[in-house]
Amino acid sequence: MTRQATAAIAQVEDLQVAYDATDGSGPPVVFLHGLAEDRATWAFQMATATSRPCFAYDLRGHGETSIGDANGTLQQLGRDLLAFLRLVSGPSTVVGFSLGGTIALWAAAHDDDGLILDVIAIGTSSVVGRQAAEFYTQRIAIAAEPASVPFRDAVRQDTAAGLHVEQSRLSEVTASRLSAIGDGQGYVNAAKAMRALNETPLTPDLARVRVPVHVVGGSDDAFCPMRASQIILDALPVADYVEVPSAGHLMNIDNPQGVAAVLTTTLRRDN
């Protein structure tokens, strides 16, 4: 099963949102990428993991989506998702990686209209520690000049740390991520939202989530290790856990087949 995606643009409140979509049957699936990525990160999974209709969109200021009136908050990014579900896809399963998973969990905790059917949160955190907050502060300080050597070196360093298997593709993946970052505005906006989880964790809000959440970890994820998943699992009313083998944080690069296999099993079970 391999399907071709169609690219489109939609006006979603203050944003011109770029997204890819595939046809299918059953409840839709909406994919959210991580920081310094764009919707292309989900191409393999959209083509192979499910026969359900799929949508993957570029987050605010990433890829081809406009920045709009960005305010650097998780709340705004979560409302962007709810607006996309309301205006474009309809009620959907939401699959989010890293930043995208955090956005999905916030939205699920604040979804009053039944737009989110369930969540698959991959390599996700609901709180960041002091060291991670300092990391975001450092990246924000240099992302204003995304073409600069310090920022490009930082993205390469972060990419290397996120790969466990595919280190030979470091230059290729770094270039792809820099392209997704573009002028850096979306990167800075999202990094500010994640940094705020140090002082205001999302974890307490997770008790409000009333849909099933499937937490997915990478076997060798240094950024979101098992303890990050356990914090989320302990806070959620209904949740389970599965691990992708041979995968660091960038598991869509390290083991795309493993991610697709997890999605196939989970989406079939929830359909």
What's the mean pLDDT when you consider all of the chain?
96
Q: What is the pLDDT of residues 236-247, one digit of tens each?
A: 999 999 999 999
pLDDT class of 268 with cuts at 50, 70, 90: confident
User: What percentage of residues in the chain have a pLDDT greater than 90?
Assistant: 97
Using the predicted structure, report yes or no on whether residue 109 has a pLDDT greater than 60: yes
Interval 114-134 mean pLDDT = 97
The predicted pLDDT at position 4 comes to 85
pLDDT class of 270 with cuts at 50, 70, 90: low
Strand extents, DSSP E, the chain: 6-12, 15-22, 29-32, 54-57, 92-97, 116-122, 213-218, 239-244
The predicted pLDDT at position 269 comes to 74
Q: What is the pLDDT of residues 53-98, one digit of tens each?
A: 999 999 999 999 999 999 999 999 999 999 999 999 999 999 999 9
Question: How many angstroms separate the CA atoms of 249 and 237, rounded?
Answer: 25
Using the predicted structure, report yes or no on whether residue 2 has a pLDDT greater than 70: no
pLDDT class of 122 with cuts at 50, 70, 90: very high
Domain ranges of the chain: 6-270
Q: At 33, give phi and psi (nearest 5°).
A: -85, 180
Q: How far is CA 7 from CA 10, 17, 225, in A?
A: 10, 11, 34
Interval 222-226 mean pLDDT = 95
The predicted pLDDT at position 271 comes to 61
Using the predicted structure, report yes or no on whether residue 251 has a pLDDT greater than 90: yes
Q: What is the pLDDT of residues 164-197, one digit of tens each?
A: 999 999 999 999 999 999 999 999 999 999 999 9
What's the CATH number of domain 6-270, 2.60.15.10, 3.40.50.1360, 3.40.50.450, 3.40.50.1820? Answer: 3.40.50.1820
Using the predicted structure, report yes or no on whether residue 129 has a pLDDT greater than 60: yes
